[in-house]
Amino acid sequence: MSIRSKLVSGLLLRPSKFLYRIFRPSPRTLRLIIHPISSVASLLASPTLRATCEKEDFDGVPGVVFHPIKGSDSRRVLVYLHGGGYCWGSSKSTHRVGLSNFASISGMSIYCIEYRLAPENPYPAALEDAIKAWNSISRRFSESEIILAGDSAGGGLSLALMMSIRDNGARMPDASILFSPWTDLTCSSESYSTRAKSEPMFPKEAPKDHARNYVPGEIDASIPEISPVNGSFIGFPRMLILVGDREILLDDSRRVCDKASEDGVDVRMEIWPDMFHDWWLFGLLVPESRKCLQKATRWIYLNDE
């Protein structure tokens, strides 16, 4: 673990975890705090970013697209679903630095779906938006390879999306990348206990709060559309899972990897030593961020070698 990563973990993330446990902020409060701070951070980082960010529309679903300044690979595009517990987060604020870097490093344009957020728009709103936007993008790029990726809640949503489009006979992605995916909204994975202290970003209460906001009380949170770890992965494309070994969501990744492997998926999981949740989003603050995106890029282009 680099010195800068230790500083980010100790001076930035752990205080945030402590404050969350004390105040238990609502999703609206989290958005009011995190989104503006992220936007300012993105603005400060803009001289180092090598990608443009433009608004997009996917058949009525809002989105943004990141184009690498050096030009993009016309053979493939990446579709992205951001994290944030289904309650906050945005590709153009919280994820802007990370996705700009991913576009620049990979040489691909990244089409990001800005799905509706809970609790104002609970399940199945996010999945409905993801399906609608995916169908629009896949029609637009019918001749290109499409990679589907997502982090945290967006990683779980990516799995739920693939289950839905597979079952409905729509085009599947050619590959999928999951960064620290949240795949069990019953929050019952063992790492909620074994990694409760080592996870610096948020306490185990945070995912449980977000799950209650996303899943209406009368709906079973264990169904595959909400907790895709409980679904079938038969027919899925090759998959890369990247997760830190300090995360409370570590076992969400392990369980998906095991289940996907049992279902015949070409799946690869990498557990990054000493890394915390979504470390790759932190850009220059965390040296391991670039290394992670380089690793993901090499995996994407594996079949070209």
> Per this entry, what is the length of the chain?
305
Q: For the chain, give the percent of residues with pLDDT over 90.
A: 91
Instruction: Supply the range of the domain harboring residue 16.
Output: 3-304
Q: What is the pLDDT of residues 209-266, one digit of tens each?
A: 999 999 999 999 999 999 999 999 999 999 999 999 999 999 999 999 999 999 999 9
pLDDT reported for residue 254: 99
CA geometry: angle 293, 287, 53, nearest 5 deg: 50
Which residues are bridge partners to 65 per DSSP? 54, 111
Please give the tally of structural domains in the chain: 1
Gap between the Cα atoms of 64 and 80, Å rounded: 10
Instruction: Return per-residue pLDDT of the chain as tens, 305 residues.
Output: 889 898 889 988 999 999 999 999 999 999 999 999 999 999 888 888 999 999 999 999 999 999 999 988 889 999 999 999 999 999 999 999 999 999 999 999 999 999 999 999 999 999 999 999 999 999 999 999 999 999 999 999 999 999 999 999 999 999 999 999 999 999 999 999 999 999 999 999 999 999 999 999 999 999 999 999 999 999 999 999 999 999 999 999 999 999 999 999 999 999 999 999 999 999 999 999 999 999 999 999 987 65
CATH code of 171's domain: 3.40.50.1820
Q: What is the pLDDT of residues 157-181, one digit of tens each?
A: 999 999 999 999 999 999 999 999 9
Q: Does the pTM exceed 0.75?
A: yes
Determine how many CB atoms are found less than 10 A away from the CB of residue 232.
15
CB 204 within 8 A of CB 190: no
Residues annotated catalytic, as ranges? 152, 247, 277
* Sequence-separated (6 or more) residues with CB below 8 Å from residue 66: 51, 52, 53, 99, 100, 102, 103, 109, 110, 112
